[in-house]
Structure 1
Amino acid sequence: MARADDVDRFYDLLATLQRRVGGPRKLKHCTGYVDWPDRGVYFFLEPGETHGDSDQHRVTRIGTHAVSAGSSTTLWDRLKQHSGTGDGSAAHPHGGNHRGSVYRKRVGEALVERHALHDDYPSWDDRWAGIDRDRGAVRDEEYPLERWVSAYVRDQPFLWVAVDDEPAPTSDRAYLEQNAIALLSNVGGSTIDSRPDHWLGHHSRSPEIRASGLWNVNHVEATYDPAFLDRFERAVGATTPP
């Protein structure tokens, strides 16, 4: 029962965080003009799904940024990559670049699998280096799916904690991200918060996503350090509304 208790504590802290920042946000309502913390960890929440019998939305993806030494990527930089382009993009408004966001790539893959769209998007899994066709033509071809992915991601509530440490693989942000994923992953352990049949992740090509119940691949098979919850609690207490 230790993991179940730790999951409960995690969600209690998430509820405290939600109160501190005035509730979750949605990317469709966010801009870079908000006073986001420079660095942090974010938690996307699944609409319509909750933790246990509570009213706290279930976490569906966990991420951070700038974990390579010297990286200058900010929290908003990473969130914007997931969000995609706005209505000011002349060529592809409300589209995006799934080759710059693994989250977008995975959601797009699952949509292709669910709706049998393989012939419509043959290059979705390919990196630019492996594509011989004109990039502009590929972007035009993929634009409808990029819009679909944007609509999906931009409508997901999310929360974040501010953790202003230097970019490094051993940063507190990396530590929190890795351990939160390991705690909430259902790989190799008892299932907590089973995913309903309509969860899009069931159609993922990644067995890690299907088994873990998270839109994460890395760290889903890891063992978590229960002490990370104390560090998470301190981060929640240091996070203020933007």
Structure 2
Amino acid sequence: MARAADLDRLYELLADLERRVGGTRKLKNCTGYMDWPDRGVYVFLEPGETRASGQRRVTRVGTHAVSAGSSTSLWDRLKQHYGTGNRSADHPHGGNHRGSVYRKRVGEAIIEKYGLHDDYPDWGERWSTIDRDRTEVRDEEYPLERRVSTYIREQPFLWVALDDEPSPDSDRAFVERNAIALLSNVDSATLDPRPDDWLGHHSRSRQIRASGLWNVAHTEDAYDPRFLDRLERAVAETGTR
């Protein structure tokens, strides 16, 4: 019962956040020229999937700059998930799944769902393990990168400003890992069950399939409910943008 109540509180905070930032956005409509906070935590929401309350379900939680000395901004991380734009000379609206684990996991699930293993034999492999020309591999993987871009860019998302020094012990890392742990259904009572057609059911990762999130790290952790208090303060400090 405590987890269900904490989950409800998390979604209440996200509803407040949505009001404060003037609604969700989709990456397909975003650019780096928008007024992004330097650092923060973001949540993607699954289109067409709602909780019993009618709120859209969280499908991924993320942050950035959790290594000491990192200068990665919030938009830098979102841009990695977005991929390439229409001005990319070689691969417009593609992307680099080796720079975005989110893109990698979505692509894996598409491969599994549609049986595309022979078409994308190197998907997710590190460059150091691939004994082929990189240009050839990128060209081969481009159609799937486009499909991944289409999928991710259609997902509404929210962001909360939370600016502290990059560190594994940062407040952003604290909020991210505990939000994932709370939302995850791994080894927990299933809350907000995912519909049969959720793409993540085809993931190679047991944690993704069981958690109902496009996350792997922290899906098997116990959560610290104090993160909700920290998130509440961050939401209150995030103004309309």
TM-score (normalizing by structure 1): 0.99
Which residue of the partner structure matches residue 146 of structure 2?
Answer: 147
Q: What is the distance in 1 between the residues matched to 2:47 and 2:181? A: 22
Q: Which deviations, in whole Å up to 9, do the C-alpha atoms of 1:42-84 show, x marking residues without a partner?
A: 0000001112x22211000000000000000000000000000
Which residue of the partner structure matches residue 17 of structure 1?
Answer: 17
Aligned length: 241
Q: What are the within-5 Å matches in structure 2 for residues 2-151 of structure 1?
A: 2-51=2-51, 53-151=52-150
Q: What are the within-5 Å matches in structure 2 for residues 156-235 of structure 1?
A: 156-235=155-234
**Which amino acid in structure 2 is aligned with residue 3 of structure 1?**
R
1:125 Cα offset (Å)? 2.1
1:30 Cα offset (Å)? 0.2
Q: What is the distance in 2 between the residues matched to 1:85 and 1:241? A: 28
**Which amino acid in structure 2 is aligned with residue 118 of structure 1?**
H
1:240 Cα offset (Å)? 1.7
Kept after mapping to 1: 8 A contact 2:66/2:168: yes
Q: What is the distance in 2 between the residues matched to 1:40 and 1:203? A: 30
1:169 Cα offset (Å)? 0.3
Q: What is the distance in 1 between the residues matched to 2:168 and 2:240? A: 27
**Which amino acid in structure 1 is aligned with residue 18 of structure 2?**
Q
Moved >3 Å (runs of 4+): none
Q: What is the distance in 2 between the residues matched to 1:241 and 1:34? A: 13
Kept after mapping to 1: 8 A contact 2:181/2:221: yes
Identity score, percent: 75
Kept after mapping to 1: 8 A contact 2:164/2:172: yes
3-state SS of 1:224 partner: coil
**Which amino acid in structure 2 is aligned with residue 73 of structure 1?**
T
Coordinate RMSD, CA, aligned: 0.6
Unaligned runs of 5+ in 1: none
Q: Which deviations, in whole Å up to 9, do the C-alpha atoms of 1:8-36 show, x marking residues without a partner?
A: 00001100000000110000000000010
Unaligned runs of 5+ in 2: none
Q: Which deviations, in whole Å up to 9, do the C-alpha atoms of 1:173-207 show, x marking residues without a partner?
A: 00000000000000111000000000000000000
